[in-house]
Amino acid sequence: EYELKDLANTFNDMIERIRLDYVKQKRFVSDVSHELRTPISIVNGYARMLDRWGKSDPEILEESIEAIKGESKNMQVLVENLLTLVRSDNQTLEFEREKFLLDEMGLELIKDCRLIDEGKHTFESHIDASIEVCLDYSKVMQTIRIFLDNAIKYTPEGGKVSLDMTQLGQLVEISISDTGIGISKNDLPHLFERFYRSDESRTRETGGHGLGLAIAKAMIIGQKGIIRVKSKINEGSTFVITLPISCDELRDKG
Ligand code: ADP
């Protein structure tokens, strides 16, 4: 009797997992379609406008070309991001490890931020010297950029963005914090989900698809790291990435 009950429970658990996977899959497909619908309609609309009036009107021609270029770039980024996530799901996301100085990368990133931001925010960094790591250079850079971009996007002008890097034995802690709008308690558990945006209308303006944090998480987990977040509405957010610094700690896991 007990064994049958165990078997039935296991079976029910399995069916529930399959059902949840199915629901997730369906939501993913509908989210992707939703994200593609807007840029496709815009490209289509401008192409038709060009066809009707634009051929001889330089102003319409210019406006349409710019819009089509912008929207197709938008779709390209979306598709590349989706491919990264699919590769991560299939465990085929490749990590090319190499030795490099993480502190130099950090300083470079902060320099880039200051340059692009044109004085709208204050940038600070507390970075340990000579943090030699053996990780995927471009994926680590892309990951930190995602958090820095968000920190800038979600912090009103005049606010502060900080990047700190601390070596703790065989680990390195990278912290990106801001004094921005913060994230509500309800949103926090969903933050790293695909297509999750805590305020759709606001993020539409900033151009995000809600994939940045999902990608960052895939890249961190793929390099055996962890990510934590602390945030308070109207006070700011802190994201802390912990990564192993040595090659030995890593395995091609995807
Ligand atoms: P997006 O491209 O929309 O920014 P992300 O996956 O990078 O997508 O972020 C998901 C959502 O998490 C954002 O839409 C935003 O609501 C919230 N978020 C991320 N980083 C921050 C931050 N530093 N401060 C406040 N909200 C944030």
Nearest to 215 by CA among 21, 80, 114, 117: 80
DSSP 99-125: EEEHHHHHHHHHHHHHHHHTTSSEEEE
Cβ of residue 81 lying under 6 Å from some atom of ligand 1: no
How many A from CA of 153 to the centre of ligand 1? Answer: 8
Nearest to 194 by CA among 225, 219, 208, 215: 215
Q: Name the residue with the closest Cα to ligand 1, atom 13.
A: 197
CA pair distance 2, 216, nearest whole angstrom: 45
CA pair distance 254, 123, nearest whole angstrom: 33
Cβ of residue 121 lying under 6 Å from some atom of ligand 1: no
Q: Name the residue with the closest Cα to ligand 1, atom 8.
A: 210
State pLDDT tens for residues 114-140: 999 999 999 999 999 999 999 999 999
HSE-up (13 A, CA, CB side) for residue 1: 0
State pLDDT tens for residues 76-127: 999 999 999 999 988 899 999 999 999 999 999 999 999 999 999 999 999 9
